[in-house]
């Protein structure tokens, strides 16, 4: 654990993650667990949001009560697997703006190729949370954050379900200013770029594709 990497070791997160890792967990259950776990991760990744106060009247008296300050935050899904984290996060942060970055991984080079980008406006001074369940090589995460910075984002956090040490190191080298929040730091990548022990292909498991 460091300032750059936060592993959310909450018992509910860890239990749900174990169920998701199991190869016989069905698509429907995997999806439901992902929704639940992403709500818990959203809670952690927004822990240090800036606050201000507002004068309100309770039935008993006036008070200066805490509220979030600043612009609405933006969630940016790295397609397609990032979409699996959105519903659970939006359950908790319904007013968040949502953007999409389409990057696929070239299976031969493991390098990201961009095919889509649609982002909310005024990314500066907004907390932007880039979401992708798997931080594997880090290539697509680094490319997505490059793109967000070019679009004006200056306060970015990266949220994932599983991270490999290789991906964390790559992000730290390229974007030391972007904290990473994850449910687990796994052992390594295999020769195909999959996280080990991991959970397999997150997109395939949540969408029931192969
Ligand atoms: N993407 C996945 O879906 N799974 C991995 O293990 C690595 C990248």
pLDDT > 50? residue 1: no
Distance 201 CA to ligand 1 centre (A): 5
Residue whose CA is closest, atom 5 of ligand 1? 194
Q: What are phi and psi of 135, to 5 degrees?
A: -95, 95
In the chain, what are the domains? Answer: 5-47+73-207 (3.40.50.2020)
Q: What is the pLDDT of residues 62-91, one digit of tens each?
A: 999 999 998 889 999 999 999 999 999 999
Q: What is the pLDDT of residues 88-131, one digit of tens each?
A: 999 999 999 999 999 877 778 767 788 999 999 999 989 999 99
The ipTM, to two decimals, is 0.95
Q: What is the pLDDT of residues 43-65, one digit of tens each?
A: 999 999 999 999 999 999 999 99
> Is 132 annotated to bind ligand?
yes
* Ligand 1 lining (C-beta closer than 6 Å): 81, 134, 136, 193-195, 198, 201-203
The pTM for the full model equals: 0.94
């Amino acid at each position: 654990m460091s300032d750059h990497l936060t592993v959310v070791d909450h018992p509910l997160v860890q239990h749900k993650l174990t169920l998701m890792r199991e190869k016989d967990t069905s698509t429907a259950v995997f999806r439901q667990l992902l929704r639940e776990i992403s709500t818990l991760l959203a809670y952690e990744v927004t822990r240090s949001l800036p606050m201000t106060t507002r004068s309100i009247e309770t039935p008993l008296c006036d008070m200066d009560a805490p509220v979030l300050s600043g612009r609405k935050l933006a969630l940016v899904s790295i397609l397609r697997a990032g979409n699996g984290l959105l519903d659970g996060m939006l359950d908790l942060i319904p007013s968040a703006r949502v953007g999409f970055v389409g990057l696929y991984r070239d299976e031969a080079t493991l390098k990201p190729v961009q095919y889509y980008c649609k982002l909310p406006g005024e990314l500066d001074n907004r907390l932007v949370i880039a979401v992708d369940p798997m931080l594997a090589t880090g290539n697509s995460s680094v490319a997505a954050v490059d793109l967000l910075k070019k679009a004006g984002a200056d306060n970015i956090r990266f949220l994932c379900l599983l991270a490999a040490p290789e991906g964390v190191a790559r992000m730290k080298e390229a974007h030391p200013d972007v904290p990473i929040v994850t449910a687990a730091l796994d052992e390594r990548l295999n020769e195909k770029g999959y996280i080990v022990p991991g959970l397999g292909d997150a997109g395939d498991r949540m969408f029931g594709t192969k």
